[in-house]
């Protein structure tokens, strides 16, 4: 019965692009912001994701996964391309840091920035599981469906993501986990 309802929802989202957009655009922007570290680029790329969706979603076939899983897959691929592209770019100018700007070892980034940076440093899978389960609040079962993995695998991913985050934050002098 649940599967039938899921398929009906899939069909509705296929047929109503506006509703699909309104329902999921904000979370795709949030996901891409965490991955790319730029709110502006994230909004730009999220638009690209939905332009693709406008063309492709009506042609998708029901395979037991919600349209949202497709949106996240496309967003993840586009983010990976964007990061790859950035990696290939050589800055035109690389100004020397002024001597006075040498970091004070006692100074730390504001905690929120450090948290965002640590999140951005996670692998794509770790970022996605944190995003789905904790940022968007999907259950582990829903997270597993969206990621195309088992619940157990998602729990393990989250454990590893948590450890890595703690390690990164501790490097920034933030005592994490308290």
Count of positions (residues) in the chain: 178
Both tokens of 67, joined, read: 């349209």
The H or E element spanning position 111 is helix 111-120
Contacts of 49 (CB under 8 A, 6+ apart): 28, 71, 74, 75, 78
52 touches another protein (CB under 8 A): yes
Which residues are CB-contacts of 97 (< 8 A; sequence separation ≥ 6)?
A: none
Q: Should residue 37 be labelled a site residue for another protein when binding is judged by CB under 8 A?
A: no
Kindly state the smallest distance separating residue 61's Cβ from another protein, in Å: 9
Interface positions, 98-117, toward another protein (CB under 8 A): 111-112, 115-116
Rg (the chain; Cα; Å): 19
We find the least distance from the C-beta atom of residue 62 to another protein, in angstroms, to be 13
Binding interface with another protein (CB under 8 A): 17-18, 21-22, 25-26, 29-30, 33-34, 39, 43-48, 50-52, 54, 56, 59, 70, 73-74, 77-78, 81-82, 111-112, 115-116, 118-119, 130-131, 133-135, 139-140, 152, 155-156, 158-159, 161-163, 165-166, 169, 176-178
């Amino acid at each position: 019965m649940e599967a039938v309802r899921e398929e009906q929802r899939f069909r509705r989202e296929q047929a109503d692009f506006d509703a699909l957009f309104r329902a999921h655009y904000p979370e795709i922007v949030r996901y891409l912001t965490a991955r790319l570290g730029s709110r502006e680029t994230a909004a730009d790329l999220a638009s690209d994701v939905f332009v693709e969706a406008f063309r492709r979603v009506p042609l998708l076939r029901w395979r037991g996964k919600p349209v949202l899983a497709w949106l996240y897959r496309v967003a993840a691929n586009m983010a990976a391309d964007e990061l790859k592209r950035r990696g290939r770019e050589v800055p035109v100018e690389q100004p020397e840091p002024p001597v006075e700007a040498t970091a004070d070892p006692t100074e730390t980034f504001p905690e929120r920035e450090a948290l965002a940076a640590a999140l951005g440093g996670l692998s794509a899978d770790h970022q996605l599981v944190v995003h789905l389960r904790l940022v968007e609040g999907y259950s582990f079962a829903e997270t597993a469906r969206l990621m195309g993995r088992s619940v157990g695998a998602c729990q393990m991913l989250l454990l590893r993501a948590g450890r890595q985050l703690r390690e990164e934050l501790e490097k920034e002098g933030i005592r994490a986990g308290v």
